Chain A
Amino acid sequence: MNAENKELQMKEETKELLKIVSDFDGTEFKGAYNIREDGGCAGRKSTENITIESKEDKPGINIHVKPGTKGENVFIPACITHSGVDDLVYNDFYIGEGADVTVIAGCGVHTITEEESRHNGIHRFFIEKNARVRYVEKHIGTGATKANRFIDPETDAYLAEGSYLEMDTTQIQGVEKTVRKTRAKLDAGAKLVIREKLMTADDDTAETDFVVELNGEDCGADVVSRSVARGNSRQSFRARLIGNTRCTGHSECDAIIADHGSVLSVPELEAYSEDAALIHEAAIGKIAGEQIMKLQTLGLTEEEAEAKIIEGFLR
């Protein structure tokens, strides 16, 4: 194990991406951090309560949060600054009992040629009893040319009794293909809240796939995806909620389609207990003409109105 700190040294492209994906102010991260740049480590810092160490058997890190740690942040963004990078990383989070922390992840891929670049982040969360985690993840692709930027995140979460995980994930532009897989298992009283925001354009494709096993009594999951599919882009949303006991589950897909975009929403609700209460909602359609008109009556052009509606929808 390597838990040594490493002074922050990174490329300008990385700094720019970090400003977008992790609200980096250009100088420092307030909390523990590990910055991944083009498959390497551009900086790392552990704190008294949060230890970050390299894995010995594969690329990635282990993050240990001491029991009872409150109000601290962990930054673990990954950036790719040029074409031809194929980055695969395994990050495991061990959140001690009663801790309450925020994890800011995120990935930015910057390329200027058509050669592929890919980042696959495989995260596992082991959240102990009564611990709370807020996980914030932003993904973006930037660059001057149409490129092949792929980001495929996978998340496995194990929520112990009374624990809470809130995942706030956003992908707003520039990623040609993404396959997002999230799996979670919940013990008694645990709560999982997922808010996904996704925008695709041109010929992008995006697949999101959630599988949540509600195993403990009175656990609950609320999975909501809001997305916009523009151009010729295609999206699919699958949410499988499995109620094995007395529990609540809600999944929702709200999508706006524009141009020739398409969205497939596939709900799967499986109840193996008569006390499992599972709900799915889906609404897919273009921006309502009345919405555009209302904002036009406030002085916005049709284009400004559409942009404002999408901005709000994906906020």
Chain B
Amino acid sequence: MLELENLSWTTEDGTEVLKNVSLQIPDGKVVVITGPNGSGKTSLAKLIAGIYEPTSGRIVLNGEDITEMGITERARRGISYAFQQPVRFKGLTVSDLIALSSKDNLSRPDMCDVLVKVGLCATDYIDREVDSTLSGGEIKRIEIASVISRHSVLTVFDEPEAGIDLWSFTNLIDVFRDMQKNLNGSLIIISHQERIIDIADELVVITDGEITACGPKDEIMPSLMDGKGCRKMCEMPREGIF
């Protein structure tokens, strides 16, 4: 279980991005975090991954306070993070990346299976460099492949749909559904996409750095879909705990 306790994050220039966010994400759940652009969703994901350090508050994973831990330590405790804008490397190949990700536990055929799962023709990509010759959609899928190879206890996908074409998007949904079936811990997806939201067991809405709604998807969805959007949700009780 991941617990966020009164988590706040303020940028160096004094902008208060997240304000007292409290949330419990139990194992076995797919949680989709949604909300308007600039509301703090990616910042929250980066706080969980250790890329940002909170200004105040605590992050607890399976009973252990990981607030002071860096990215590496959190990764070694089973947190994975798929970047919204994947990083490119001159010289590192797709197979290098997946080998690092899986700690060399995947054979080449296994790596190919992972690539196929994210909609890539494995033989065309496995030896390619993860560099600027790849399109936005290709590198996004490779990023997702590198993350699902880890079989983490907590996986965070930051807008996985960004840059992905329609055909691949269907494929992506299948990937998440497959992960959902075989969840070893929990899955957090930052997304605006209705079809991704539809996968969620639980839904969290962030507006202006605060949780404005959270709970089972079926309870939250109507308020998302009634056309009044986040304004209505802001008026909802802010219990913020499942």
Chain A positions within 8 Å of B, measured between CB atoms, are 226, 254, 288, 290-291, 293-302, 308-309, 311-315
Contacts and interface: CB of A to CB of B under 8 A. Distances in A.
Contacts of B70: 296
A295 B97 CA distance: 8
Contact of B75 (A226, A290, A299, A309): A299
B49 interface: yes
Given A308-B100, A312-B96, A297 B91 contact: no
22 contacts: A226-B90, A254-B90, A288-B87, A293-B51, A294-B83, A294-B86, A294-B87, A296-B70, A296-B71, A296-B72, A296-B75, A297-B49, A297-B81, A298-B97, A299-B72, A300-B100, A301-B72, A308-B92, A308-B96, A312-B96, A313-B90, A313-B91
A299 B91 contact: no
Given A312-B90, A312-B96, A298 B83 contact: no
A302 B72 contact: yes
Given A293-B51, A297-B80, A300-B100, A312 B75 contact: no
Contacts of B81: 297
B91 A226 contact: yes
Q: What secondary structure prevails in chain A residues at the interface with B?
A: helix
B140 interface: no
Interface size class of chain B, counting residues whose CB lies under 8 Å from the partner chain:
20 to 34
A298 B89 contact: no
Interface string B120-149: 000000000000000000000000001000
A293 to B, nearest CB: 6
B76 interface: yes
Interface string B60-90: 0000000000111001100111010011011
Nearest to B100: A298
Contact of A309 (B51, B72, B79, B89): B89
A23 B70 CA distance: 40
B228 interface: no
Nearest to A296: B71
A255 B128 CA distance: 20
Contacts of B90: 226, 254, 312-313
B103 interface: yes
A295 B100 contact: yes
Contacts of B51: 293, 297
Contacts of A314: 91
Q: What secondary structure prevails in chain B residues at the interface with A?
A: mixed
A313 to B, nearest CB: 4
Q: Which 4 A-B pairs give the minimum distances between C-beta atoms?
A: A312-B91, A312-B92, A296-B71, A313-B91
A27 B79 CA distance: 48
A312 B72 contact: no
B150 interface: yes
B197 to A, nearest CB: 25
B96 A298 contact: no
Centre residue among B51, B71, B81, B87 by max chain A CB count within 10 A: B71
B20 interface: no
A297 B89 contact: no
Centre residue among A254, A293, A301, A314 by max chain B CB count within 10 A: A293
A299 B92 contact: no
A298 B101 contact: yes
A89 B52 CA distance: 57
A297 B45 CA distance: 12
A311 B92 CA distance: 8
A314 B129 CA distance: 13
Contacts of B79: 297
Nearest to B129: A312
A312 B128 CA distance: 12
Given A293-B51, A293-B71, A299 B76 contact: yes
A291 B93 CA distance: 14
Centre residue among B72, B86, B100 by max chain A CB count within 10 A: B72
A298 B49 CA distance: 11
B103 A299 contact: yes
Interface string B34-49: 0000000000000001
B146 A298 contact: yes
Given A297-B51, A299-B103, 15 more contacts: A290-B83, A293-B71, A294-B86, A295-B100, A296-B72, A296-B75, A298-B100, A298-B101, A298-B146, A298-B150, A299-B75, A300-B100, A308-B100, A309-B89, A312-B96
Contacts of B92: 308-309, 312
Nearest to B96: A312
Contacts of B103: 299
Contacts of A296: 70-72, 75
Contacts of A301: 72
B87 to A, nearest CB: 4
B96 A297 contact: no
Centre residue among A296, A297, A312, A313 by max chain B CB count within 10 A: A297
Contacts of A313: 89-91
A257 B227 CA distance: 52
